[in-house]
Structure 1
Amino acid sequence: MDIILIAGLWLDGSAWDDVVPELTALGHRPLPLTLPGQGDGTASATLDDQLEAVLAAIDATPGKPLVVGHSAAATLAWLAADARPEKVAKVALIGGFPSDDGRPYADDFAAEDGVVPFPGWTPFDGPETADLDRPARDRLASTTVPVPETVTKGIVHFTDDRRFDIPVLVICPEFTPTQAQHWITTGESTELARATHLDYANLDSGHWPMTSRPRELARVLAEAANS
C-alpha cells in the first residue's frame, strides 16, 4: 500500500528517513512529503497550500493510501480525509488529534517576523522528549525549519461527514491508549469522538518516534496498512 507520511511542525520529508526503508522492507511504498513553506524553499505558504500538496499526493496514488499525520499534521491528515473520503483507505495519527472546525491549525507557538521557528526543547521537557538523548535532540533540531505563520494560524474547515467512516488509528507515543480514549470521550477531540472506526496502538516512546523508534513505528504503520 502507498503510505503518505506528513510530519508535524518544523519538519520536512527527511524526518521519515529512518522509517522509509523499514516500510519498504515490509512491502509498502512510503511517500514522505515536504510541505510548501516547510522545507521546500518557498518563502511563504498557507494551510490551504499544504493541504493541496497532500491532496496531490493522494490523487497521484493508483489506489487508496494510508495517510499518516504526525503531531500538528494530524489535522492536515484529517483535512485530507475530509476532502478525499472516497480516496483514503485509513488515517493514522501519531501523537496528535485533529483540531476542531473553525479553530486555528496550530497557533500554540510564538511567531517572529511572519514565521514560527522551532522553540527549542524547553517547551517539550517531560515525556515528549524522555527518549531523546542530547545527540538525538541536536540532530533533530538541526533539521527543523520555521513554519509560516499563515500556516499555523490558518483556520480549519471540514465539509464532508463521510470522513467519520474512514478507519482511524491513534498511535500513542508519549501518552497511553487509555489516556487518548479518555481525552476523546471527554471532548478534547470532537472530531475523533464521531469516528465510527477508531483503534489505538501503544508505541511507548516520545513525541518523535520516527527519530527514536523508527523500526517500531514502521511496524505499527505496516500493520495498519495490512488490516
Structure 2
Amino acid sequence: MVNFVLVAGAWLGSWAWDDVAPALREAGHGVHPLTLSGLADKQAVPAGRQTHVRDVVEEVERLDLRDVVLVGHSYSGIPVGQAAGRIGDRLARVVFVDADVPVEGESFLSTWWEGPAKLEAALARNGGFWAPLTEADCDGQGLTDAQTARLVGGATPHPGGSLADPAVLARPLAELPATYVKCLLDGPEPSGDVTAALRAGERWRLVEMDTGHWPMFSRPDELARILLEAAGQ
C-alpha cells in the first residue's frame, strides 16, 4: 500500500481528482486529494511565498503518511517537486502530470511561456489573481462538452503570489524517484526544464498520454492506471 497525495494545477481543488481517486482506493491504496491555499474550498486562506509547498508538506506530516506518492499536475508540479525534497524517507515517488517542475530561484511566473510581463499584466487586471480558464482554453484538449463544463464551472481565481514564488530546492530534482506524464495534445515534447531533469535523473521515467492537459477529466481511468504503475516502480 502507498499513499497518494493528489494536487491539481492552477484554479482547481481536490475535487478535480474525483474520477481518479476511486480506482486508486479500489487497488488498496490511501488517497488524499489536497486543495492548495487560496483555491476552491480554501479560497479564503491567504497564499504567498512557499505557502503551497507548506500545504503539501504539512498534509503529509499531519496525516503521518509513509510510502507517499506525491502527484502534481500543471502548476502544482512546482510546489510538489519542492515538497518531495522535504519529506525525506516518507517519499516513495513523485509524479508530474503534464506539469511544470521547480527550478532553483525561478518561479512559475518567471518561466511563463509567453513571458513574465504578459502574465504579470493579467494578474494586475484581475486584482492580483489569475482569472479562471475559459471554454476556449480547453479547445483541442480531448475534453467532451460535459467535461469542459465541469472543469470551467469548478475553476476559481488563482492567487498570484504563489505564481511569483521562487523555488527553493532542498534536494536536487534529478535525485528524486520521478515519473513525468506528458499529455501529447498539449504539445509533443516536455519543456526544456523537464527534459533536462529527465536526462540527468537516472530514476526518472517518461510516460505519454494521447490526451490533453487535464487528463483527470479526459482520461481518468488511464491516468489512474499510470499512477498505479508509477507507484510500483
Common topology (TM > 0.5): yes
Partner of 1:80: 83
The CA distance in 1 between the partners of 2:11 and 2:143, in whole Å, is 17
Instruction: Give per-residue Cα distances to partners, 1:142-201, cap 9 Å, x unaligned.
Output: 00011111111111121333x532211011222599833xx55xx565444432311122
TM-score (structure 2 length as normaliser): 0.84
Structure (1/2) with the larger helix percentage: 2
The CA distance in 1 between the partners of 2:219 and 2:188, in whole Å, is 21
Partner of 1:172: 182
Runs of 5+ consecutive residues of structure 1 not aligned to the other structure: none
Q: Percent identity?
A: 26
Runs of 5+ consecutive residues of structure 2 not aligned to the other structure: 113-118
The CA distance in 2 between the partners of 1:167 and 1:215, in whole Å, is 23
Partner of 2:56: 54
Q: Is the 8 A contact 2:184 2:208 kept in 1?
A: no
Partner of 2:149: 138
Partner of 2:224: 218
Cα 1:61–1:195 change in 2 (3 A) is: farther
Decide which of 29, 44, 59 is 2:46's aligned counterpart: 44
The CA distance in 1 between the partners of 2:83 and 2:155, in whole Å, is 24
How large is the Cα RMSD of the aligned pairs?
Answer: 2.3
Q: Is 1:113 paired with 2:120?
A: no
Deviation at 1:6, TM superposition (A): 0.6
Q: Is the 8 A contact 1:92 1:168 kept in 2?
A: yes
Cα 1:223–1:47 change in 2 (3 A) is: farther
User: How many residue pairs were aligned?
Assistant: 219
Cα 1:177–1:116 change in 2 (3 A) is: closer
Q: Is 1:201 paired with 2:203?
A: no
Partner letter of residue 96 of structure 2? L
Cα 1:80–1:144 change in 2 (3 A) is: same
Q: Is the 8 A contact 1:81 1:91 kept in 2?
A: yes
